[in-house]
Structure 1
Amino acid sequence: MSFGTFARRVRDPALPHQRRVAALRSCVQLYRPIGFEATLSFLHAKAGPFGTEEAALLRALAMLEASRSAWQEAKHAYAAARREAKQRGQRSPHPNDINPYTPLHWYGARREAALHAVSFWHQRRLSILLTNDDKPAHTLCECVQTCLDTGGHLPPGQRRLLADCIDQFAARLQPALYHDDPAEYFRTRDLLTVARHLEAMVV
Structure 2
Amino acid sequence: MSFGTYARKVRDRSLPYGLRVSALRSCVQLYRPIGFHATLGFLGEIAGPFQRDEAALLRALDAIEASRAQWHADMREYAHRRRQAKQRGYRIPPAQDRNPNGFPPIWYGAARSAALSALRYWSRRRLPSLRVTAAGVGNTVDVLVTAALSSGGDLASGQRQLLVLAVAELEGRMQPDLWSDDPVAYFRARDLLKIARLLETASDDGQPQASADG
Q: TM-score range by the shorter chain?
A: over 0.9
Structure-2 change in CA distance of 1:135 and 1:18 (3 Å): same
After superposition, where does 1:9-20 map in structure 2 within 5 Å? 9-20=9-20
Aligned to 1:28: 28
1:22-50: CA deviation from partner (whole Å, max 9, x where unpaired): 10000000000110000000001111111
Quick check: 175-184 or 65-74, which moved more?
175-184
1:74-128: CA deviation from partner (whole Å, max 9, x where unpaired): 1111111111111111112211111111212110001111111111100111010
Aligned residue type for 1:41? G
CA contact (8 A) 1:104 1:196 kept: no
Aligned-pair CA distance for 1:60:
0.3
CA contact (8 A) 2:134 2:189 kept: no
Aligned-pair CA distance for 1:155:
0.2
CA contact (8 A) 1:114 1:198 kept: yes
Aligned-pair CA distance for 1:136:
1.6
Aligned-pair CA distance for 1:134:
3.0
* Cα distance in 2 between the residues matched to 1:49 and 1:149: 25
Structure 1: which 5+ runs fail to align?
A: none
After superposition, where does 1:42-53 map in structure 2 within 5 Å? 42-53=42-53
After superposition, where does 1:127-166 map in structure 2 within 5 Å? 127-131=128-132, 134-166=135-167
Aligned to 1:184: 185
Aligned to 1:75: 75
CA contact (8 A) 1:43 1:63 kept: yes
Structure-2 change in CA distance of 1:86 and 1:47 (3 Å): same
Structure-2 change in CA distance of 1:160 and 1:87 (3 Å): same
Aligned to 1:115: 116
The size of the alignment, in residue pairs, is: 203
Aligned residue type for 1:173? M
SS of structure 1 residue aligned to 2:195: helix
Aligned residue type for 1:26? S
Structure 2: which 5+ runs fail to align?
A: 205-214
Higher relative contact order structure (alpha carbons within 8 Å, sequence separation ≥ 6): 2
Does 1:126 find its partner at 2:127? yes
* Cα distance in 2 between the residues matched to 1:16 and 1:175: 46
Aligned-pair CA distance for 1:133:
6.4
Aligned to 2:5: 5
* Cα distance in 2 between the residues matched to 1:132 and 1:72: 38
SS of structure 2 residue aligned to 1:161: helix
SS of structure 2 residue aligned to 1:15: coil
Query: Please, what TM-score do these two structures have when normalized by structure 2?
Result: 0.92
SS of structure 1 residue aligned to 2:32: coil
CA contact (8 A) 2:134 2:188 kept: no
Aligned-pair CA distance for 1:141:
0.9
Aligned residue type for 1:148? L
RMSD (Å) for aligned C-alpha atoms: 1.1
1:44-79: CA deviation from partner (whole Å, max 9, x where unpaired): 111111111111100000000010011111111111
Structure-2 change in CA distance of 1:48 and 1:82 (3 Å): same
